[in-house]
């Protein structure tokens, strides 16, 4: 199970180039944590869904194991309250981060999905202009601050922090989104769909294991 290899000291970075594969992996991880921490006082999973893809799948009934209730335009949660999803916008991001940090002692997992979508929150600020480099630099600093604030508290409470990052390609070279993740990640892993039904996981970096591959059977989401 993927939940068993997540580390609590650094970032756990899920690298992907297929959004559907990412959603299937996250759905599997959430299921594992919900089963493990069922009826536990520290059982809440907090999900920062910056691209809203996972939330859209759940709302459409494509992840039957999860049912969401709308709290407001930016918050959804499961009926049990064990899963809380935030849909941040630029103007309320800081309030959401503060709320997450204040509730950290109730959590068993924090998900930040995704690094790439974080930049989309500030799209109007990175449209090419004379001072474009400065603006991108400022957003990079904000991203660094947000990630480090969260990981400071997840490490303190011994909670895994899962971060997703889409692969970028430069010609034949594969480039991850963020240098911080490359330096600070305890676990790096890549996910893709295999044989239509299964998830293939490649461990790219882990403190206790060498690079290896394993298959998670029948975890690709299906719907009628």
C-beta separation of 164 from 112 below 8 A:
yes
Residue 122 lies in a domain: yes
Residue 224 lies in a domain: no
Q: Rounded to an integer, what distance in angstroms lies between the CA atom of residue 66 and that of residue 78?
A: 7
Residue 43 lies in a domain: yes
Going by C-alpha positions, the residue among 42, 45, 39 that lies closest to residue 3 is: 45
Residue 223 lies in a domain: no
Total domain count for the chain? Answer: 1
C-beta separation of 77 from 148 below 8 A:
no
Residue 217 is encoded by which pair of tokens? 């059977």
Q: What is the CATH number of the domain that holds 43?
A: 3.40.50.300
Taking residue 193's Cβ as centre, other Cβ atoms within 10 Å add up to 17
Full-model pTM = 0.91
CA distances from 103 to 15, 19, 79, 197 (A): 27, 29, 18, 36
Q: Rounded to an integer, what distance in angstroms lies between the CA atom of residue 209 and that of residue 56?
A: 35
Residue range of the domain that includes 9: 2-216
Residue 185 lies in a domain: yes
Residue 30 lies in a domain: yes
Residue 221 lies in a domain: no
In order along its 224 residues, the chain shows pLDDT tens digits of 788 889 999 999 999 999 999 999 999 999 999 998 877 777 899 999 999 999 999 999 999 889 999 999 999 999 888 999 999 998 999 999 999 999 999 999 999 999 989 988 887 666 555 555 547 778 888 999 999 999 999 999 999 999 999 987 555 554 455 666 777 788 999 999 999 999 999 998 876 666 688 899 999 998 75
Residue 222 lies in a domain: no
Residue 97 phi/psi, 5° resolution? -60, -45
């Amino acid at each position: 199970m993927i939940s068993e290899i997540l580390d609590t000291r650094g970032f756990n970075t899920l690298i992907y180039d297929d959004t559907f594969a990412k959603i299937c992996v996250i759905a599997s991880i959430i299921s594992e944590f919900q089963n493990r921490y069922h009826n536990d006082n520290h059982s809440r999973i907090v999900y920062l869904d910056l691209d809203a893809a996972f939330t859209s799948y759940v709302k459409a009934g494509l992840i039957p194991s999860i049912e969401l209730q709308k709290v407001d335009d930016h918050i959804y949660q499961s009926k049990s309250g064990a899963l809380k999803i935030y849909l941040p916008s630029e103007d309320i991001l800081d309030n959401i981060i503060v709320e997450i940090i204040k509730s950290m002692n109730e959590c068993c997992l924090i998900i930040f999905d995704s690094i790439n979508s974080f930049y989309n929150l500030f799209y109007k600020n990175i449209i090419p202009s004379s001072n474009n480099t400065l603006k991108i630099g400022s957003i990079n600093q904000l991203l660094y601050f947000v990630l480090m604030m969260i990981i400071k508290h997840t490490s303190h409470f011994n909670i895994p922090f899962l971060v997703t990052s889409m692969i970028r390609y430069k010609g034949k070279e594969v480039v991850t989104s963020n240098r911080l993740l490359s330096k600070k990640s305890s676990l790096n892993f890549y996910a893709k769909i295999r044989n239509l039904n299964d998830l293939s996981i490649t461990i790219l970096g882990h403190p206790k294991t060498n690079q290896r591959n394993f298959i998670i059977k029948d975890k690709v989401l299906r719907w009628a």
